[in-house]
Structure 1
Amino acid sequence: MQITRSSVDTAKGPSDWFTGDVYIDAVAAAPDPSRVSANLVHFMPGARTHWHRHPLSQTVFVTEGVGLCQRRGGPVEVIRPGDRVLFEADEEHWHGAAPNRLMVHLAINEGDADHDVVHWLTPVTDEEYAAAPSVTD
C-alpha cells in the first residue's frame, strides 16, 4: 500500500490544449509497468478541450455540473454527474463545460507502448461549440 499525501498543486490547463479556464488535479500516475493515469479536470463555464484523440481510448466520469462532448462527425451531447463517456481508441473528440455551467470530470487514460496518452489537434471553433443543445438545468 502506498499513500500519497496531496502535495501537487492544481495546474492551469495550457492554452494549446484548452479554450477557456481549465484546472487539473492529478489523481493517479501508476508506477511502471502500469501506464494508467487519472486527472480531475475542472472546466469553467464555456471552457473546453481542443479536438484530440487517445491511442488507447479515454473514459471520463462526470462528477459535477453540466458538460458537453462530441466525437468527430457526431452530435454534441450533454453530460451530467454520474455519466460515463468512453471515447474509443483514436476517436477524435472534445469535451468541456456547458456555456452557463461548470463541469468537473475524472479523466482516465492509458499510455501506449511509447507512453503517448493524447494527441492534441485543433481548437473547437465557436461555431462547433454553439451547435450544442441548450442546457436548461
Structure 2
Amino acid sequence: MKIIACGSVSTIIAPEKYFTGRVLQTPIIEAEAPARLRATLVSFEPGARTHWHTHPLGQTLYVTSGAGLAQTWGGPLQEIRAGDVIWFAPDEKHWHGAAPKTAMTHIAMQEARDGVHADWLEAVSGEQYGG
C-alpha cells in the first residue's frame, strides 16, 4: 500500500503548448508498471480548454464541479456538467474545457500504451470553441 498525503503533490499551471487559457493540474496517481493508469485533477478557468488530442487507450473524465464543453472531431459541441462522466474511445480526436463564462473541474483518467498517455495536436480555434 502507498498513501500519498494530501498536500504532498504540487499543483502546476498546465503548459501553454497543450492548453488555451489558465488551467491548473494536480496529479492524483501515476501508477507504477505494470499498471498504466494516470489520473489528474484539472481545473479550467472560464474559456480555458485543452488543445485537440487523442489517447491511445481512451480517456474517462469525471466532472466534479462547474460546467464545460467537449467535442470529438467532426461531432457536435456538447455541454458537460458536474456529475457527468465522459468516455473518449482510443485514438478519438477530441478536446474539453470550461464554458465561456463558467469554470469547470474534472478528474481525467487514462492509461498509457508504451509510456504514452496522450498525443497532443493543434489548438482549438475560437470558431471551433463557439466564439
Q: Tell me the TM-score normalized by structure 2.
A: 0.97
Q: Which runs of no fewer than 5 residues in structure 2 stay unpaired?
A: none
SS of match in other structure, 1:94: strand
1:2-39: CA deviations, max 9, x gaps? 11113121110100000000000000111111010100
Identical amino acids, percent of aligned pairs: 48
Could you tell me how far apart the structure 1 residues matched to 2:21 and 2:118 are? 19
Structure 1 stretches of at least 4 aligned residues deviating more than 4 Å after TM superposition: none
Q: Match of 1:91, as an amino acid?
A: E
Distance 1:2 1:50 in 2: 33
User: Structure 1: which 5+ residue stretches go unaligned?
Assistant: 132-137
1:66 match: secondary structure: strand
Query: Paired residue for 1:64?
Result: 65
1-structure distance, mates of 2:11, 2:78:
28
Amino acid at match of 1:19: T
How many angstroms apart in 2 are the aligned matches of 1:64 and 1:14? 22
Partners of 2:82 and 2:52 in 1: CA distance: 22
Q: How does 1:70-109 map to 2 (within 5 A)?
A: 70-109=71-110
SS of the equivalent of 2:129 reads: helix
**What letter corresponds to residue 63 of structure 1 in structure 2?**
T
- Counterpart secondary structure, 1:123: coil
Match of 1:127 in 2: 127
Aligned to 2:116: 116
